[in-house]
Amino acid sequence: MGAASFQTTYVARDAATAFANAASDARFEHGHGGYTGTLAEKDGFLAPIALPARWKVQDFVDAVMRAEIIADPESVYGGYKPTAKERALLARLVRDLPSWRRIVDAATGDKWGPAVCVEVTGSQAATIKKQQGRAGTRDRVYVFFGLASC
């Protein structure tokens, strides 16, 4: 069987509640049989990482999920040419997150391992909470992502 990348955003009081609810929703939407390529295949998550300052959530997820390809395109996909934006995102990732290699390995190296969890704060969190009808609550915004068995 293969692996598929997934990304799930969930608003809840804490990361454990967000994960449990998001995984339950994924099982409801994609079935309980396994190999869904979703968060439903994960049995846990890494401790939440604070989204580094000045990062857009999607740029951060993209940088982590593509870091291995961008860092060494010849060994992974011979002939791939990373774009200037991809190279800049990797440079920012290395600069802003000292544990970036551990995060990249967790996100892309194990389709059965834990999901990566990022806590979104500030205006991005406020926007997401508003979109989900949770504006004004003390809930937090979490993004879970990585590879899952499919």
Confidence at 70, pLDDT banded by 50, 70, 90: confident
CA torsion sign for 140, 126, 105, 38 is: positive
Closest CA to 126 of 134, 118, 115: 134
> pLDDT tens digit string along 96-148?
998 899 999 999 988 989 999 999 999 999 999 999 999 999 999 999 999 99
Q: What is the pLDDT of residue 45?
A: 96
Residue 135: half-sphere exposure toward Cβ, Cα within 13 Å: 8
Angle made by CA atoms 77, 78, 84, in degrees to the nearest 5: 75
Question: How far lies 27's CA from each of 22, 30, 148, in Å?
Answer: 9, 5, 13
The residues near 64 (Cβ < 8 Å, ≥ 6 apart) are 93, 100, 103, 104, 107, 108, 116, 145
Confidence at 91, pLDDT banded by 50, 70, 90: very high
Confidence at 31, pLDDT banded by 50, 70, 90: confident
